Structure 1
Amino acid sequence: MSDFREPDLPRTMKQRAGKALRAGWTTGSCASAAAKAAALALATGDPQQEVEIALPGKDGSWAERVRFAVDRCEVVSPPGRAEAVVVKDAGDDPDVTHGARLTATVSWREDPGIELDGGVGVGVVTKPGLGLEVGGPAINPVPRAMIARAVGEAVDLEARGVRVVISVPEGELMARKTTNRRLGIIGGISILGTTGIVRPFSTAAWRASVEQAVSVLAAQAAEENRRGDATLVLCTGGRTEKGAMALLPHLPEVSFVEVGDFTGAALRRCVEHGVREVVFVGMIGKLTKLAAGVLMTHYTRSAVDTDVLADLTTRAFPENPSLAADVRLANTARHVFELWDTAGALPACANALCEQVARVLERFAQVECAGALRARVALVDFTGTVLVGSSAQWAEGGARHG
């Protein structure tokens, strides 16, 4: 019996035959639009019917701008307060927050600047490991920056101060269909998003794009007479892809492909096309799932197993026996990362994790794909840009550490 797992996506997450999937907007984008509408209404006294906000780009710019319809906007009693609602459209993504009424209440405050808080239906963080303040609202860093920028386009925050409260009616009910409670986010949903856009999952479309990327890479190698020694770099997303390109500047752009959660399918394509080496660059959550033999890592079909990380901690950092016990009880993979870092165990444990993932990828190719390939693995931090650990073969491939 195979010790690998590739759980299928839910039926609703697969592409509808013959139709392109429609992208939607994150809760972060909708909250930003609602906040700008309310801020404009507060500053001008005029309710807003639509607003335009900026989306964050991969290069740190805010060049792309999009318009949102405002479902409701009014200056409310008592004076000095305005409220606006933007209804979330998740496109064709099966998102539990589709249709959510992202509500922003904006009021004046004495000090210049912006104060951001969560209201009804926005979760409260109760456990470490999420990169957010315990006791604060579950509004992630990129949405916070988007909200501040959007409000700053309506009000001069250097001269005046506003308090922005984001709420989501029925948010607590929506959160029951998410992993929030298990992660220690209580009372509602999280305000999420790193790009502002929800790109729906499409297994068929993804497979086509990966197959094309591998085919192009293999063809390029053949033209250069490299006879199968091309390297494909598998990245879980935009941040890790950007980091991988910085770490491996000698590789052509065609070598890098975002595989999302479908590592197993990507490895099959590599074997089929004669690719002999893969590099996997990811963050601790995805690497932990791979280390456990889970090759399809979408959050709806697999969870981080802290037992795997605890056992690895015992082997890699035996001088602190209590650390493994703390890791086993950790709330998230990010929490484990923080525990390792605090204990001075991060380099040793990160390297051991990468080594275990490399062995899993190589064995998967051999057992499940009837092929042989070499795997090099790197763990990057949560910005995607800093190399934290790597497998033993990493430096052999000319990777740049730092």
Structure 2
Amino acid sequence: MHRSPFVNPAGGREAQLKHTGLRPGWTTGACATAATTAAYTALLTGDFPDPVTITLPKGGRPAFALAAEELSAGAAMAGVVKDAGDDPDVTHGALVRSTVRVLPAGSGVVFRAGPGVGTVTLPGLPLEVGEPAINPVPRRMMREHVAEVAAAHGGSGDVEITVSIDHGEEIARSTWNPRIGILGGLSVLGTTGIVVPYSCSAWIDSIRRGVDVARAAGLTHVAGCTGSTSEKTVTTLYDLPEIALLDMGDFAGAVLKYVRQHPVGRLTICGGFAKLSKLAAGHLDLHSARSQVDKPFLADLARSGGATEALAEEIATANTGLAALRLCEAAGVPLGDLVAARARDEALAVLRGAPVAVDVVCIDRAGAVVGRSAVAGP
């Protein structure tokens, strides 16, 4: 697959990754902008620029090779294969197409969702219901590039842009889109045009959009869950609708910080005991590469719950957090409840007095509840 060269003498975010050995990539919004620029240029001149160069919001100048092109009377289509660099992006390798058609003078730029691009069906997103799921920054990028091409080649700039993504509807099933009401395909995303490997910005953005949709639907109770098992548990406990479930993964801090700014009446955090013991110890990123289960911390918690010194020493040297939990269960020490209560308190500290009540549910690998806090908050 072609790997688009990046032309930016000043460096920037991609330069910051050199020490990691990870290669940055391009957002779907950047790919759609490149395809649109090439298609509109061909519509006005008869020739597709290949590679086609665009300007990113922060000034970078990447060049993209075309993977598809088609010119007919009144319309042109160009396609770019998305290269997400070394980020584990589900859209890596997808073919992003843009079909540009000339509209009557004064029509402006109109966006359409082609095959594989979703349509907004629920309020709360930065787009109106019924609009194609092409986010505001990619729309702005495409408008700006259409205006540049029009100025350079004598066009009016009045065009219809239909963005499509090959196999996008299938790929979208493994994203948050169906849950937050984007149906029929993927979203065209990106704020900088650059995908930073392992920044997980798309995941965090999905968490934020999930909160927005829940609030717009009038929900007063949402749940941040670490995975599908915790989602099933919290649904059983509270009978929450699907749009109330936030797939927070390891990003507890992302949920808490966004809910602090966009409050919901109640937030339940549900996840595996070991992960939530990290939150209890003050970690907001629960990924195993960035935080570890602190067994001496668990030993101190167990002491506060009545554990003997001998049991506390066993906990401090246990192989896993779950092993520590089982030791306490056998001794009648409520370590699961203690972890849940401490995690709730840490969550409230991050919320900084926002009008959000919080409770925490700890589960084992089978989804059984092994610890639970009371609800607390302002």
Q: Which residue of 2 aligns with 1:122?
A: 117
CA offset at residue 106 of structure 1?
A: 0.7
CA RMSD of aligned residues (A): 4.6
Q: Which residue of 2 aligns with 1:106?
A: 100
Q: Which residue of 1 aligns with 2:308?
A: none
Structure 1 segments (4+ residues) deviating >6 Å: 299-308, 346-349, 354-357, 360-363, 371-375
Instruction: Between the two structures, name the one with larger relative contact order (CA 8 Å, sep ≥ 6).
Output: 1
Q: Which residue of 1 aligns with 2:196?
A: 199
Instruction: Select the residue among 134, 149, 168 that pairs with 2:144.
Output: 149
CA–CA distance in 2 between the matches of 1:149 and 1:300?
A: 41
Which stretches in structure 1 are left out of the alignment for 5+ residues? 1-17, 58-62, 203-235, 239-259, 262-281, 312-324, 335-345, 380-387, 393-402
Q: Which residue of 2 aligns with 1:15?
A: none
Instruction: Select the residue among 174, 179, 184 that pairs with 1:177.
Output: 174
Answer yes or no: is the 8 Å Cα contact 1:33–1:52 preserved in 2: yes
CA–CA distance in 1 between the matches of 2:30 and 2:71?
A: 22
Which stretches in structure 2 are left out of the alignment for 5+ residues? 1-18, 215-221, 247-258, 271-275, 284-292, 301-341, 358-378
CA offset at residue 87 of structure 1?
A: 0.9
CA offset at residue 39 of structure 1?
A: 0.7
TM norm structure 1: 0.50
CA offset at residue 168 of structure 1?
A: 1.5
CA offset at residue 193 of structure 1?
A: 1.4
Higher CA-based Rg: 2
Q: Which residue of 2 aligns with 1:82?
A: 76
CA deviations 1:213-260 (Å, max 9, x no partner) are xxxxxxxxxxxxxxxxxxxxxxx979xxxxxxxxxxxxxxxxxxxxx9
Residue 133 of structure 2 aligns to a residue in which SS? coil
Aligned length: 252
CA deviations 1:36-58 (Å, max 9, x no partner) are 0001111111122121112123x
Answer yes or no: is the 8 Å Cα contact 1:56–1:146 preserved in 2: yes
Aligned-residue sequence identity (percent) comes to 40
Counterparts of residues 20-59 of structure 1 (less than 5 Å)? 20-57=21-58
Residues 1:330 and 1:172: Cα distance change in structure 2 (over 3 Å): closer
Residue 243 of structure 2 aligns to a residue in which SS? coil
Q: Which residue of 1 aligns with 2:319?
A: none
CA deviations 1:114-137 (Å, max 9, x no partner) are 111111111122222333222221
Residues 1:89 and 1:354: Cα distance change in structure 2 (over 3 Å): same
Most deviating of 113-122 and 347-356: 347-356
Q: Which residue identity is paired with 2:35?
A: A
Residue 102 of structure 1 aligns to a residue in which SS? strand
Q: Which residue identity is paired with 1:150?
A: H
Residues 1:363 and 1:85: Cα distance change in structure 2 (over 3 Å): closer
